[in-house]
Amino acid sequence: MTLDWRLGGLLLGLVFFAAVLLVKPIGVSTQFVILDGIVADAVTPDFITQTEEGYTSTNAYMAKSNGKYAKNASNPLNYSFVFVIAMAVGAAVSAFLRGGVGDGRLPKIWSDNYGDTPMKRYAVAFLGGFIVLYGARLAGGCTSGHMMSGMMQTALSGYIFAAGAFAAAIPTAMLIYRKG
């Protein structure tokens, strides 16, 4: 079962519109920092502290913005963190419904270029995700925040980011997937 790209794009646009209208623009890369803070606080209990003025952390990044990140890590059941968890669960449900979980099938373009090696694909996907997340934090936001939410709000920075993302993604894909 596949979803037509036009319907998928329309549904994605509606979800983004509803999120901005009802809550706030979508952005997810900060939530990985929040997850790091949750883990760090579990390992080192004084990593995040609550004072009369609010939340703070022994880590300068978590303490910035008047302890906003420290507060979110201390109380992770908030809209943004739950949204990221729901994205992962939704992706898993989608893959399961399409019959693509654990059956060893790989996309044809991957097999044509690299053979039938699921572990190599997982390793490359993990490395790619790590690089993208590192870049997102370096830039102060991710594609969903900068590009998708930014463009939806007609922010010039969103259009500039989108142009840069595609200018890098297209030649990279052509280099990685020479066959097909």
Q: pLDDT by residue (tens digit) across 114-131?
A: 887 778 888 988 998 888
Domains contained in the chain, number: 2
List pLDDT tens digits, range 57-82: 999 989 988 899 999 999 888 888 88
List b or e across 105-123, with b for residues whose CB sees 16 or more CB atoms inside 10 angstroms.
ebeeebeeeeeeeeeebee
Domain of residue 76 covers 1-103
Per-residue model confidence (pLDDT) at position 104: 60
Cβ distance 73 to 37 under 8 Å?
yes
Residue 18 shares a structural domain with residue 94: yes
pLDDT tops 60 at residue 103: no
Residue 40 shares a structural domain with residue 117: no
List pLDDT tens digits, range 16-57: 888 888 888 887 888 888 999 999 999 998 999 998 889 999
Neighbour tally for 35: CB within 10 Å: 15
